[in-house]
Amino acid sequence: AFDHDISAFSNCATYRCPLLEQDTGKFIFSVEIFKRGYDDAVANGLRPRGIIIINPSNPTGDIYDEQTVQPVLDFAAEKKL
């Protein structure tokens, strides 16, 4: 439903950056995941314009602290997202 709402109300598409590590089955929040997602989106001809972070995380309920989120915000600023 979230992807649909974003598309319906903003006339843009979402590109997911899954936090679930397939190898371990754990949810990992890191700037590297967002960098990889950005690069994949660009390689697929998309023009990323923003990052949406759900905090607390769904489905784990984890609450990301400033130290965890700041590198992603710095990356977004660097890419002018």
Number of residues that make up the chain: 81
* Model confidence at 66: pLDDT above 80: yes
- Number of domains the chain is built from: 1
- The reported pLDDT for the residue numbered 25 is 84
28 — pLDDT class (breaks 50, 70, 90): confident
d(CA 63, CA 37): 21
pTM over 0.85: no
Q: Which residue has the higher pLDDT, 79 or 11?
A: 79
Query: Range of 18's domain?
Result: 2-78
Q: Mean pLDDT over residues 34-61, rounded?
A: 90
Q: List, in order, residues 6 or more apart from 7 with CB less than 8 Å away.
A: 13, 14
